[in-house]
Structure 1
Amino acid sequence: MGTAISLDVADDLPSETLHELAEDTFGWLREVDARFSTYRDDSEVCRVDRGELRAADASADLRAVLAACAGLWTATDGFFDAYATGRLDPSGYVKGWAVQVASDRLVAGGAPNHCVNAGGDVRVRGHDADGEPWRIGVRHPWDAAATCLVLTGTDIAVATSGVYERGHHVLDPRRGVPATGLRSVTVVGPDLGVADAYATAAVAMGAPGLAWLDRLPSPWQHAVVPPTS
């Protein structure tokens, strides 16, 4: 999925069970990568984009993701757009969604206390190995060795969209140019896929994205870091 992914299971389970849970988690994420990658010519996303596969004939997961992206396009007034680049690219939702599903599967598998971290998009449940709420550091957008915020919780999703690694890669879909108004946005809520999309949409909006985030109902929250100028 183009990023480092870590899994921390805090439940006191037999090592064999932990191994099985880890294999299931990473197997699922590899499956998502194969299906949704925009860099693999044989992925479902690329085949749909080229017109070789009808969306209606795609897998249930791809159909569900496309339906979610359509709903998010409406919810964000078009600023979350899976076609913003001119081709199908649901990546702004897929990574968070995949980790959210992985977390749900861990709970169903008997591991209600865990943290899954995919390149800074984090889903935590329950408590850490010391029985305490999880602490999640948000990377400082100008200093890779520092954090600018530490969040604490037992059942939260944290997604960050920023420009400090890939440059201004988020497009303003209305103007068709990179969005430059915000340095980074972190969104906190109950679902990592939605949080990921909301963070991407806010960066695409630029400064007006702050007011849009302010209007989100509870339990959604956000933190932003403005540009240097």
Structure 2
Amino acid sequence: MGTTITLDLADDLSPARLRELADDVFTWMHEVDARFSTYQSDSEVCRFDRGEVLLSEASADLRFVLEACADLWGVTDGFFDAYATGGLDPSGYVKGWAAQVASDRLLAAGAANHCVNAGGDVRVRGFSPTGEPWRIGIRHPWDEMATCLVLAGTDLAVATSGVYERGRHVQDPRRGAPATGLRSVTVVGSDLGVADAYATAALAMGAAGIGWLDRLTDHTYAVVTDDARQFHSAALPQTA
């Protein structure tokens, strides 16, 4: 997926069990990368895009992701578009979804206190090793060594989409051009795949994305505009 995955396990388990849980997470992430990478020509998503794999032949994971992306296209009025760049690229959903699945599996396996971080898309549950709620720093969009806000909680899915690392890589599907107006969008919810897609969609909308985010009833957000203004939900789980 072209990013770094980190994992924090905070349960009082044996070293062997912690290692087993971590191995399961990273094995899953490698499976997702092999299946959905747009950088590897032999990945299933690339072969499907070229017509070498029929929908009836696709894996259950690929069919699930394609259906989720179609639903998200409708919910976002077309601004979350897995075909925005011409070919199939569901990365704006897959990264968050993969981390969400990893977190769900950890919870089911008895690891109730953990943090899965997929390149800045973060799923936390329970408490940190200090016994306090997890603290999640949101990178300052002009200073990679600073944060612009810090969130805290015990059950949060936090996804950020921005232009400060990969440039204006998110397309405005209405104009067929790179999206402008917003430099960073963070969305907080309960499902990291959905939060990831919503952050991507809002970035694609540009300034209009702020109003769209404000109308969501089950997510909170924080936005930094191209001209350095910041907007956020009143209920955003901030901490000092």
The TM-score by the shorter chain falls in which range?
over 0.9
Residues 109-139 of structure 1 deviation map (CA, whole Å, 9 limit, x = unaligned): 1101000111110000000112110000000
Q: Which runs of 5+ in 2 are unaligned?
A: 229-240
CA distance in 2: counterparts of 1:5 and 1:84, whole angstroms: 26
Aligned to 1:223: 222
State the 1:181 CA deviation. Answer: 1.0
CA distance in 1: counterparts of 2:171 and 2:62, whole angstroms: 23
CA distance in 2: counterparts of 1:95 and 1:210, whole angstroms: 23
Q: Which runs of 5+ in 1 are unaligned?
A: none
CA distance in 1: counterparts of 2:56 and 2:175, whole angstroms: 30
AA paired with 1:223? A
CA distance in 1: counterparts of 2:41 and 2:167, whole angstroms: 25
AA paired with 2:39? Y
AA paired with 2:217? P
CA distance in 1: counterparts of 2:127 and 2:55, whole angstroms: 40
State the 1:221 CA deviation. Answer: 0.2
2:205 is the counterpart of 1:205: yes
Equivalent residues, number = 228
State the 1:228 CA deviation. Answer: 2.8
What is the DSSP-based 3-state SS (H/G/I as helix, E as strand, rest coil) of the residue aligned with 2:161? strand
Aligned positions of 1:1-229 closer than 5 A: 1-218=1-218, 220-228=219-227
Residues 145-173 of structure 1 deviation map (CA, whole Å, 9 limit, x = unaligned): 00000000000000000000011000001
CA distance in 1: counterparts of 2:104 and 2:28, whole angstroms: 12
CA distance in 1: counterparts of 2:38 and 2:134, whole angstroms: 33
CA distance in 1: counterparts of 2:56 and 2:212, whole angstroms: 33
What is the DSSP-based 3-state SS (H/G/I as helix, E as strand, rest coil) of the residue aligned with 1:104? helix
TM-score by length of 2: 0.94
AA paired with 2:179? A
CA distance in 2: counterparts of 1:144 and 1:55, whole angstroms: 41
CA distance in 2: counterparts of 1:181 and 1:24, whole angstroms: 40
AA paired with 2:53? L
State the 1:56 CA deviation. Answer: 2.5
AA paired with 2:210? L
CA distance in 2: counterparts of 1:24 and 1:38, whole angstroms: 23
What is the DSSP-based 3-state SS (H/G/I as helix, E as strand, rest coil) of the residue aligned with 2:182? coil
Residues 1-21 of structure 1 deviation map (CA, whole Å, 9 limit, x = unaligned): 211111000000001000000
AA paired with 1:111? A
CA distance in 1: counterparts of 2:145 and 2:112, whole angstroms: 31
State the 1:192 CA deviation. Answer: 0.3
Q: Identity rate of aligned residues, in percent?
A: 75
RMSD: 0.8
CA distance in 2: counterparts of 1:173 and 1:147, whole angstroms: 30
CA distance in 2: counterparts of 1:120 and 1:36, whole angstroms: 18
Runs of 4+ residues over 2 Å off in structure 1: none
CA distance in 2: counterparts of 1:39 and 1:188, whole angstroms: 28
AA paired with 2:30? R
Residues 23-77 of structure 1 deviation map (CA, whole Å, 9 limit, x = unaligned): 0000000000000001111111001100011122100000000000000000000
TM-score by length of 1: 0.98
